Amino acid sequence: MTLTSNADPERGPWFLVTVDGRLPIAWDSSAVSSGMVQKLLGFGRLEGEAENIGGEVFFYHYHADVPFEGSQKEVFEVGDLVYWRAPEGSGRFGILAFYGNTTFGDGTAPRASSPGVRIGKIVADPEKIGRIPTGTPISIQGPDLGLGQVSFRSMDAGTKEDFALLQSIEELERPDLAGDVLALLTALANAPSVYQVNRLTHSLQCATRAMRDGADEELVVCALLHDVGDLHAPDNHAAFAATLLEPFVSEKNAWIVRHHGIFQQYYYFHHLGQDRNRRDAFRDHPWFADCEQFCHRWDQVSFDPHYDTLPLSTFEPLLRRVFSRPAWSQGSKSE
């Protein structure tokens, strides 16, 4: 693991951590007094070994003896980055990164075993910190080893080095896709509905039926998310869901989600004086039967308030696993 920092005069110093070069996490210290941070960075490279003790990842550094500045405390917030000193005389100093409630105290808050000073905030999902294994080499590098900045103000003036830099921090700027999708999904509970179940329950019921039918994890997640665009793209909600899922699922499953809207019309379009058989345009498609079954067995029947629908907590781990796959790794697209 490597932590690099960038002393940006406008944003203040910040840190970047990578685990095996694949898991960048930024810590933004712009919101706190940077005096102590600058002194810490004055030591050059700080090296240690990560210890993940539950709720907190830390490493000791035996030379970074910087007096506390600002308010000292023991209870912090998830996502806080803290400079910590062991009780007087032990000569131990360390960096703590909180990703959840620690086992110190009553276990209800991120807590240090003795006072520390907050020096920054984790920019990325704190869960990434939680996945850092004990024993991972960790180092903080000084500002001279910072990430730098691209040279261009218009893209056509960019250099090879600029785009190499952008590529290297692409992962850092990556949003928490699973968290964002979960937020879209839970918002469906508040969507106006004259169905006998709300839109979230419909989605959960669809996923429940898929799971009980023996569908694999990926297809269950597709069932869960097939209507996630209802609020944001009501005129092409199926395409919205398919676009979210496409990088992480098979081409077949993305196709099913993308076309479920047309296939679903079979169950109601004739009541509106329209052609219920628009799906027939795909009659010869190799995945016609799969999409037909998706709608017939799971989607069109999932409006039942008396069905034993499983809660979102059942599906969240599946969703997070699917969205943590490397994009386009399922053979659906080369890009």
Q: What does the binding site for Fe ion look like in residue numbers (CB under 5 A)?
A: 227, 299
β-pairing, 51-52 vs 56-61, is antiparallel
Between 2 and 265, name the residue whose CB sits nearer to Fe ion.
265
* Minimal distance, residue 208 CB to Fe ion, in Å: 13
- Say which residue the tokens 């030591």 belong to: 43
SS (H, E, C) 25-41: EEEECCCCCCHHHHHHH
* Helix/strand/coil percent split, the chain, to 5: 40, 20, 45
d(CA 183, CA 3): 30
Work out how close the CB of 299 gets to Fe ion at its nearest, in angstroms, rounded to a whole number: 4
CB of 205 to Fe ion, least distance (A): 9
Measured at the CA of 45, the angle between CA 39 and CA 51, to 5 degrees, comes to 100
| Nearest to Fe ion of 46, 221 (CB atom) | 221
Q: At closest approach, how far in Å is the CB of 295 from Fe ion?
A: 8
Nearer to Fe ion (CB atom), residue 57 or residue 182? 182
- Residue among 117 and 238 whose Cβ is closer to Fe ion: 238
Beta-carbon contacts of 105 under 8 Å, excluding residues fewer than 6 positions away, are 74, 75, 111
Residue 58 or 255: which CB sits closer to Fe ion? Answer: 255
How many C-alpha atoms does 220 have within 13 Å on its Cβ side? 24
Least distance between Fe ion and beta carbon 237 (Å): 6
Measured distance CA(170)–CA(312) in Å, rounded: 30
Nearer to Fe ion, 39 or 297 (CB): 297
Taking the complex as a whole, the smallest distance from the CB of residue 230 to Fe ion amounts, in Å, to 7
Nearest residue (CB) to Fe ion, 51 versus 227 = 227
Residue 295's nearest CA partner among 240, 258, 323, 247 is: 258
Minimum distance from residue 206 beta carbon to Fe ion (Å): 6
Contacts of 126 (CB under 8 A, 6+ apart): 78, 79, 97, 98, 99, 100
Tokens (6 digits) for 250:
């098979």
